[in-house]
Amino acid sequence: MPGSLGGETVVITGGAVRLGRAIAFECARSGASVAISYNHSAEQAAQTLRELKELGNGKQRFASFQADVSQSGDVEKLVRDVQRELGGATMLVNNAAIFRRTPFETMTEADFDDHIAANLKGPYLLSKYFGDVFVSQKHGAILNIADIYGLRPLKNYVPYCISKAGVVMLTQALALALAPHVRVNAICPGTILTPSETQDEDDGEALLLPKIPLGRLGTPEEIAQTAAFLLAGPGFISGAIVPVDGAQRLR
């Protein structure tokens, strides 16, 4: 029923830190077994895994795996590892991404390639390999973390915006390709403040707030709650692109 992820196994890329970590805990609180993947955040992944195990109800299982999601070999291995450790997956959250300031005057081919590899090729590969599993078992859901700047551009972030616009289209294309047994949706976060970031005016918050009609920054918990809803929620929701941005995209 909507609101419960009991019996599901959710794979969350970039699940050791920031939004991915918040989504991992929300899925666990909703009853899911959780696998997180990380690339370079081994220490954070170990800490997150310990805390997830403390939160579990005894029936849930938790694991973490290292993977470069832009490499097909790593993705294939991740599918096998999740099968071995957790008995397979039923849901996937494509969260891992890079976000790098790239002014037009200085951006390079490598900037473009890096963003496309991490932010678009990775979700494509993961959706293909896990999607094959979900189709074969006639049950599954994929959730992509896009960005409002995949819907409208942000100056000085050209490769990032292009990659996230690709994620929006990937979501819609996969919703058709993987129907009827697999639902595919996306969240487009606005400006989200994580606990590791300061709230001083020096970090630009004073400049950002006038652009957000609701008058505040979002929280990782609000993204995580939306993620859990879309994963567990009404089975007729697929191909949806859901902004969680305090109406920031409208300004």
| Domains and their CATH numbers in the chain | 9-250 (3.40.50.720)
Cα distance between residue 181 and residue 37, in whole Å: 25
Q: Which two tokens stand for residue 24?
A: 């991992």
3-class SS of residue 31: coil
pTM: predicted TM-score of the whole model, two decimal places: 0.94
- Going across the sheet that includes 9-13, the strands are 62-66, 33-38, 9-13, 91-94, 140-145, 182-189, 241-244
In the predicted model, is pLDDT for residue 200 greater than 70? no
| Amino acid at residue number 102 | T
Catalytic residues: 160
Q: Which residue has the higher pLDDT, 31 or 233?
A: 31
- Looking up tokens 């050791």 gives 16
Give the confidence band of 199 by pLDDT, cuts at 50, 70, 90. very low
In the predicted model, is pLDDT for residue 142 greater than 90? yes
Main-chain phi, psi angles of 81, to 5 degrees: -65, -40
Peptide bond into 153 cis (omega under 30): no
